């Protein structure tokens, strides 16, 4: 493989990592609070607001059930509004974030719901405010689950980021399609796939390791 | 400072040197005509968990609350620390109507009420020391004050060497000690215990109960103890409240209640101690008719008579014959003997009648179970 092609791969990897990490950060900063709210706002819960909970649940589900490629196209006006353009890696971050946030919210909700309700009651019994319960009890206790949720989100984002290539988003997916498929360079296609596999493996391994480290529910030696 | 404030300030300074004298009738917790209804929801009907609850828990006492599953025991204590609101009536804790508080005021009041739980409810993500620190962090203590207080508490509950262990590395008894330390962290004057020893083995239970007794003695903390285990009430409580289907059915001094049990629930709890079943080997030999050369089998209950320990000898003297002890179970509740004896009296119906009438005159409740060879 020529030097030039290798440089292309390196550049595309950089674009992918940029899109995924920014999208993951922004999506998490929306998804985590939404997830915590979904997990604590049903009737009788910490921030009981059943109506808001249902409405938010519907929105989250709607976003999650829209195929990603349709989402990308559907929100082009919005993307333009935010990013000033609808093509390129920067613009691709917008649909990536919008796809990942509800996904993260549902995973976070599930992780928070895993926390034993007795702990909430315990903290209330010594006068903790709802916010103190979230920050001192729910999030620390759900931390292993939250780490795994974010890991899963990043892995999925790597997959999605390969798709935004189709709409001029750049990155590894774009490279694979343009060179591997349109210019018929199977070695390029292979290289892109190998790099993606390596990235996913690295993210997953790191996430698993971190989740294990923060899990105090089991003894470790 | 206005006049009213200066007056209160003056009074509180004046009263400082005089420690609040523990008056016998001074109530730490007072229930005033309290009812609790959990409203109907979806397909679940509403539940009347408590009704017409009217009683006081004396300051500095250890009060046991017993009752069958679903009787309303947990609801009762959850009203004390404001985890639940009464549907009607008031719950006054240390002179403050907890049922009327909400939000920040309630949270402040909750800091002077500690609670321990059956399943300990420790945060798995925090070490022993950090679990104890949690209520102090919530109350906004400084780091230095927290560290000093936690060290003191670890010492108090006897697990100072486990300070950096996570709950997953500790035994049930150790976990409950952390639970107790955590509950006492903000120096509450009431400690609520909801089945705190039910997940522990008998030996560990005893050590935890000893610790609670110490805390009550040394710190003067009023303890409210929910349990379905008679042995817990027997070992620790001075006062007992028996509740059934949301009503208080009996209450008073432990010795008094258990030597004169009136309600079937109290009797059932008592039979846990005195054992109202006849040993199987004996039951299989019992016949309804006297047997020549055999014995009449008489069972007597010992409830609070301090002469219980000499009754066999006295009965033998009265009947001028040997009296066999076929089974016996005697315990002490609040310094009173409580138990049952199954006795074999040589002879037939006449002997049985004579024995029972003697025992009845001596204020024992006695019955004839039958005859054995
Ligand atoms: N949050 C709730 N919502 C609806 N019903 C409830 C709720 N909590 C308790 N109940 C009902 O109230 C009644 C009393 O319950 P409570 O938990 O006080 O009983 P308990 O004496 O503590 O029982 P146990 O010994 O089993 O713990 C029960 O019928 C129970 O089903
Ligand atoms: Mg209960």
Decide: B73 in ligand 1 pocket, CB within 6 A. Answer: yes
Proximal ligand: closest to the CA of B71 = 1
Would you say residue B38 has pLDDT above 90?
Answer: yes
Per-residue pLDDT tens over the stretch B197-236 = 999 999 999 999 999 999 999 999 999 999 988 888 888 9
Would you say residue B1 has pLDDT above 80?
Answer: no
Whether B111 contacts A126, CB under 8 Å:
yes
Would you say residue B18 has pLDDT above 50?
Answer: no
List CB contacts (< 8 A) between A220 and chain B: none
Q: Which two tokens mark A100?
A: 């990942």
Residue B242 CB neighbour total at 10 angstroms: 26
Considering chain B, what is the average pLDDT of its residues? Answer: 88
Proximal ligand: closest to the CA of A44 = 1
Chain B interface includes A111 (CB < 8 A): no
Task: Report the pLDDT value the prediction gives residue B220, as an integer from 0 to 100.
Answer: 95
Task: Report the pLDDT value the prediction gives residue B306, as an integer from 0 to 100.
Answer: 62
Contact residues for B133 (Cβ-Cβ < 8 A; gap 6+) = B126, B146, B150, B185
Per-residue pLDDT tens over the stretch A54-83 = 999 999 999 999 999 899 989 999 999 998
Nearest-angstrom CA–CA distance, B267 and A133: 43
Q: Which two tokens mark A145?
A: 């689950």
β-sheet with B113-117: strand ranges across: B113-117, B190-194, B222-227, B62-66, B239-244, B247-253
Would you say residue B15 has pLDDT above 50?
Answer: no
Place of tokens 């006297």: B290
Per-residue pLDDT tens over the stretch A79-107 = 999 988 888 888 999 999 999 999 999 99
Per-residue pLDDT tens over the stretch B135-144 = 999 999 999 9
For chain B, report the end-to-end CA distance as a whole number of angstroms. Answer: 89
Q: For chain B, where are the E strands, in sequence order?
A: 27-38, 47-58, 62-66, 88-93, 96-97, 113-117, 190-194, 222-227, 239-244, 247-253, 295-303, 324-333, 336-346, 365-372
Place of tokens 């780490």: A147
The interface predicted TM-score (ipTM) is: 0.89
Nearest-angstrom CA–CA distance, B243 and B156: 33
Residue of B75, B80, B241 to mutate, ligand 1, most atoms within 8 A of C-beta = B75
Place of tokens 């353009």: A85
Would you say residue B275 has pLDDT above 90?
Answer: no
Q: How far is A197 from chain B (nearest CA, A)?
A: 33
Nearest to A216 among B113, B135, B166 (CB): B166
Q: Which two tokens mark B113?
A: 């009420």
Q: Which two tokens mark A8?
A: 């292309």
Q: How far is A213 from chain B (nearest CA, A)?
A: 11
- Binned at pLDDT 50, 70 and 90, residue A154 comes out as very high
Nearest to B121 among A122, A129, A136 (CB): A122
Q: Which two tokens mark B2?
A: 């206005």
Task: Report the pLDDT value the prediction gives residue B235, as an integer from 0 to 100.
Answer: 87
Nearest-angstrom CA–CA distance, B264 and B244: 10
Q: Do A218 and B134 touch (CB under 8 A)?
A: no
**Per mean pLDDT, which range of A12-21, A117-126, B5-14 is the poorest?**
B5-14
> What does pTM read for this prediction?
0.85
Decide: B38 in ligand 1 pocket, CB within 6 A. Answer: yes
Per-residue pLDDT tens over the stretch B294-338 = 899 998 888 876 666 788 889 999 989 999 998 888 877 777 788
Task: Report the pLDDT value the prediction gives residue A219, as an integer from 0 to 100.
Answer: 61
């Amino acid at each position: 493989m020529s030097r030039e092609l290798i440089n292309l791969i390196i550049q595309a990897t950089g674009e992918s990592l940029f899109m995924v990490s920014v999208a993951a950060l922004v999506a998490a900063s929306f998804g985590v609070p939404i997830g915590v709210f979904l997990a604590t706002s049903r009737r009788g819960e910490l921030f009981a607001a059943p109506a808001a909970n249902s409405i938010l649940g519907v929105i989250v589900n709607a976003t999650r059930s829209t195929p990603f490629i349709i989402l990308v196209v559907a929100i082009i006006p919005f993307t333009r509004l935010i990013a000033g353009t609808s093509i390129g890696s920067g613009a691709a971050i917008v649909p990536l974030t919008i796809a990942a946030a509800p996904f993260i919210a549902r995973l976070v909700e599930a992780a928070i719901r895993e926390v034993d309700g007795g702990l909430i009651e315990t903290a209330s019994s010594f006068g903790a405010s709802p916010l103190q319960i979230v920050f001192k009890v729910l999030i620390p206790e759900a931390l292993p689950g939250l780490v795994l949720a974010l890991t899963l989100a990043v892995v999925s984002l790597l997959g999605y980021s390969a798709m935004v290539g189709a709409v001029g988003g750049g990155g590894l997916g774009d490279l694979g399609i343009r060179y591997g498929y349109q210019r018929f360079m199977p070695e390029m296609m292979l290289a892109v796939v190998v790099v993606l596999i390596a990235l996913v493996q690295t993210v997953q391994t790191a996430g698993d390791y971190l989740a294990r480290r923060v899990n105090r529910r089991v003894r470790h030696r | 400072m206005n006049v009213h404030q200066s007056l209160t300030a003056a009074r509180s300074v004046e009263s400082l040197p005089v420690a609040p004298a523990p008056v016998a009738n001074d109530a730490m917790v007072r229930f005033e005509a309290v009812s609790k209804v959990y409203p109907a929801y979806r397909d679940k009907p509403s539940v009347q968990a408590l009704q017409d609850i009217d009683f006081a828990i004396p300051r500095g006492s250890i009060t046991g609350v017993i009752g069958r599953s679903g009787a309303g025991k947990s609801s009762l204590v959850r009203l004390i620390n404001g985890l639940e609101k009464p549907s009607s009536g008031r719950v006054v804790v240390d002179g403050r109507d907890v049922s009327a508080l909400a939000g920040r005021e309630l949270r402040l009041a909750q800091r002077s009420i500690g609670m321990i739980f059956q399943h300990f409810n420790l945060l798995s993500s925090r070490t022993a020391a950090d679990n104890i620190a949690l209520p102090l962090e919530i109350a906004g203590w400084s780091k230095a004050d927290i560290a000093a207080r936690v060290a003191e508490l670890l010492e108090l509950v006897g697990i100072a060497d486990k300070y950096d262990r996570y709950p997953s590395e500790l035994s049930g008894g150790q976990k409950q000690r952390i639970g107790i330390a955590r509950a006492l962290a903000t120096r509450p004057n009431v400690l609520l215990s909801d089945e705190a020893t039910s997940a522990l083995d008998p030996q560990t239970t005893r050590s935890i109960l000893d610790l609670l007794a110490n805390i009550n003695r040394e710190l003067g903390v009023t303890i409210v103890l929910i349990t379905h285990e008679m042995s817990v009430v027997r070992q620790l409580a001075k006062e007992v409240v028996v509740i059934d289907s949301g009503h208080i059915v009996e209450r008073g001094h432990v010795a008094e209640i258990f030597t004169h049990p009136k309600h079937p629930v109290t009797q059932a709890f008592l039979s846990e101690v005195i054992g109202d079943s006849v040993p199987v080997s004996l039951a299989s030999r019992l016949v309804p008719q006297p047997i020549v050369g055999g014995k009449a089998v008489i069972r007597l209950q010992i409830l609070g008579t301090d002469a219980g320990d000499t009754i066999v000898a006295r009965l033998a003297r009265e009947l001028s014959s040997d009296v066999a002890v076929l089974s016996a179970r005697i315990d002490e509740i609040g310094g009173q003997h409580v138990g049952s004896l199954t006795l074999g009296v040589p002879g037939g119906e006449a002997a049985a009648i004579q024995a029972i009438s003697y025992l009845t005159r001596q204020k024992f409740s006695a019955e004839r179970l039958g005859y054995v060879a």
